[in-house]
Structures are given as C-alpha cells and as structure tokens.
Amino acid sequence: MKFNTKTIHGGQKPDPAYGAVMPPIYQTSTYAQSTPGGHKGFEYSRSGNPTRSALENALASIENGNHGLAFGSGLAAIDAVIKLLEPGDEVVSTNDLYGGSYRLFNSIFKKFGITFHFVGMENAEAIEDYINENTKLIWVETPTNPMMNVIDIKATAAIAKKHKVLLAVDNTFATPYLQQPLDLGADIVMHSVTKYIGGHSDLVMGALVVNDKELADRLYFIQNASGAVCGPQDSFLALRGIKTLHVRMQRHCENGRAVAEYLASHPDIQDVYWPGFESHPNHAVAKSQMKDFGGMVSFTTKGNDYDKAISIVERLKVFTLAESLGGVESLAGHPASMTHASIPKEEREKTGVVDSLIRLSVGIEDQEDLINDLKQAIG
C-alpha cells in the first residue's frame, strides 16, 4: 500500500461490532468480564482502549513500523523512551531541539543520574566523540526546532548500530509524509501528534512507533506502568487528522517554499532557515531523506533587531502569534521567549536561537494572503 492510501486505510478496519467505518469513540474506562480474565481483549483503558488501538495501528502503518503507542502528549512519549534507561546511562542528543525536550532531559532525568550530551549533529561523525560504554541512546530531532538543521538519519543509524545504542528520531517537523526514520535505520520514531499528524490544533498527544517486538513490549510496559495515555476522544480526532495528512502536507510544503523565498528576498530580513534552499548547509541530506521541505520556516531581522521582531509578530493578522505548529492555520512564534524560554540564553544562542528569531508554522491558507500579511507586518 502506498503512503496516500495508508493514511486512509493503513492498519484500519471497520469496527467489529456494527461495521462502523470510523472507529467509534469507546468512552469507557473499563470492560465487563464474564469470569476473571474472561474479556474481549480490553480490561482497563489505561492498559488499552479500542479507539486508541485503532489509532496506534494507523500510526504504525504510516511510519512503516510494526508497533504504535499513543501517549497523552509528545513529552509523555519522550518520557517513556528515556525510562528505558538506568541511572549512569548516557544520551547523545541534538543540541538544537524543542525547549520542552531539553527541559525534560536536563531538569527531570538528569536528577535520576542520566547524563545528556547536547551535540551539533549536522556532521554525523561528531556524535562518535560523545559515545562511550555508558551510552545507550542517540536522540535526534530533524529538522530541528527551531533552527531547521537537518541531520543525516542513515549516517546516524550506522553509528548507532556500530556502537549498539538505540537511535530515536523525533519526526514531528517532517511527518512520515516527508521522511520515514525506521526505513532509514532508526529504532524508535517519536511524534508530537499535537502538530501535523493531528493537524487541526485541537488536541495534545504523542506517539512512538517501533519495529522490534521486544522494544515495543518494554515501551508498552512503561506506557501502562507510568500511565501517560491519551483518551478515546483525542484518539478519534488524531485518526481523523491522519486521513488528510498527505493532502495537508503537500500544501504546507508549497506555502512553506513561497514564504521562505519571499522572506529571503526582503531587505529587512537577515537569515532565513529552511532546508529547501540550496544554500542550506544540509540541503543535500534533506533532499535525499525528505520528499519535500515542509512548512516550518525561521528567520531573523536585519542586525538581530529584537524590537523589530516583536513588532512583526504583533502586527501579523493572518498568522496568529501562538505556541505550537503543524495545524492548518498559520502560526508565528518567538522561540527565545516562548517555546525555547526554558533553555538558558547562552545555550540557546550557541545554536542560533537569538532574540530576533521568529518561527513560522506556515498553514494551508491562500499563499497570497500569507505573503501579503508578512509584507504588511515587516513593512
């Protein structure tokens, strides 16, 4: 089955009870048993729920994986991955990543004796300098949030295999429409489903997809034991979102390109970060591992002018100033004070998250309206 068919049919079948084409929202916490242990596959909705199962199967299908797990948020999914580790273990992570992932690693798991090395991975060989006998996981976000760096998944997977460590890829920005990390050698693919997969800014959810049964069992144990699951109503919404993922992504990519090119031509704009530019340092890798370049675009104002950046985000009318990304509507964010405020200033500035950086999640509105909005806001 090809991708555009998988989004609609992959891992899905009519509900066994009445043949409902869309999985019903099984809004129940528990299930009747005829005798202790005598149930129809579900006992308690933290452990499993038919609507969540339908979603987990669909997620596995679109990521070309064997097992899907859905969580109450993207961070809950990341939390489950790190709980595979033990005190004393080490993780090599992308240095430019979502501020909440950084906070989870640095402010929660560090306390439990796990060491994180934040490394610029644009050159995959740099990762090897940080690998030792305690290293258990490489954590990659690509493209990165918000600097749009691209990391070579295949080359990183080769390093992970060589050193027998797990490779997890946060595929939130790309989505499986653009890249499928398991096919490139990753062990775990992670999503903030809140973003493009949900696609309508109406839910908060996370997901993991893996191929290996033993790894899936360990993650399922953590999911059930820690309990950060998503509910049936949100599972239904995410399933509905998946069905249009390919159509939405196509438009996000077209509009992302138009916005990036417009910004690059504007005299008041300094740098535009978008992997579709031939001048992007990892354009060749992006071209080889992604089908297109996505709808996320970051940029700075000329002379790193903070006041100018703030006036732009305040003046935008079609773009809404808000956290998050990946919905049908266009959003603008100021990473330094919003999504990445939990990263110390000197740390975030090392990766380019300066005070004038603006991040756009380019939606699927009419391209002309988006460009005109930027035009009037930048002046």
What are the residue numbers of the active site? 46, 98, 170, 195
**How is residue 284 written in tokens?**
């060749």
Decide: is 324 part of the binding site for ligand P1T (CB under 6 A).
Answer: yes
Residue 50: count of CB within 10 angstroms of its CB: 22
The residue sitting closest to ligand P1T, measured at its beta carbon, is: 74
Q: Which of 143, 176, 206, 327 binds ligand P1T (CB under 6 A)?
A: 206
Q: Which of 94, 101, 142, 180 binds ligand P1T (CB under 6 A)?
A: 101
Query: Do β-strands 358-361 and 296-301 pair in parallel, antiparallel, or remain unpaired?
Result: antiparallel
* Two structure tokens written together for 264: 């690059």
Phi-psi sector, 335: left (phi>0), alpha (psi -120 to 50), beta? alpha
Site for ligand P1T (CB under 6 A): which residue of 73, 180, 298, 301?
73
Query: How far apart are the C-alpha atoms of 226 and 93, rounded to whole Å?
Result: 23
| Residue type at 140 in one-letter notation | V
CA atoms in the 13 A half-sphere facing the CB of 94: 27
| Binders of ligand P1T in range 276-315 (CB under 6 A) | none
Q: Which is nearer to ligand P1T, 131 or 228 (CB)?
A: 228
Q: Which part of the chain contacts ligand P1T (CB under 6 A), choosing from 14-22, 34-42, 53-61, 317-325?
A: 317-325
By CB under 6 A, the residues from 132 to 161 that bind ligand P1T are 141, 145
CA atoms of 322 and 2, how far apart (whole Å)? 34
172 belongs to the binding site for ligand P1T (CB under 6 A):
yes
Q: Which is nearer to ligand P1T, 325 or 378 (CB)?
A: 325
CA distance 264 to 351: 20
Give the strands of the sheet with 269-273, arranged side by side.
Answer: 269-273, 296-301, 358-361, 331-333, 320-321
Phi, psi of 320 (to 5 degrees): -95, 135
**Among positions 122, 152, 170, 234, the unique one binding ligand P1T when judged by CB under 6 A:** 170
In the complex with ligand P1T, which residue's Cβ is closer, 208 or 312? 208
Comparing CB distances to ligand P1T, the nearer of 18 and 151 is: 151
Q: Specify whether the CB–CB gap between 260 and 372 falls below 8 A.
A: no
Q: Rounded to whole angstroms, how far apart are CA atoms 209 and 211?
A: 7
Please give the Cα distance from 136 to 166 (Å, whole number): 6
Nearest approach in angstroms of CB 231 to ligand P1T is 14
Is residue 339 part of the contact set for ligand P1T (CB under 6 A)? yes
Stretch near ligand P1T under the rule CB under 6 A, chosen from 40-48, 166-174, 175-183, 304-312: 166-174
- Where does this chain touch ligand P1T (CB under 6 A) — which range of 21-29, 94-102, 180-188, 272-280? 94-102
Q: Is 74 in the site for ligand P1T (CB under 6 A)?
A: yes
Binding residues for ligand P1T, rule: CB under 6 A, are 73-75, 98, 100-101, 141, 145, 170, 172-173, 192, 194, 204, 206, 323-325, 333, 339
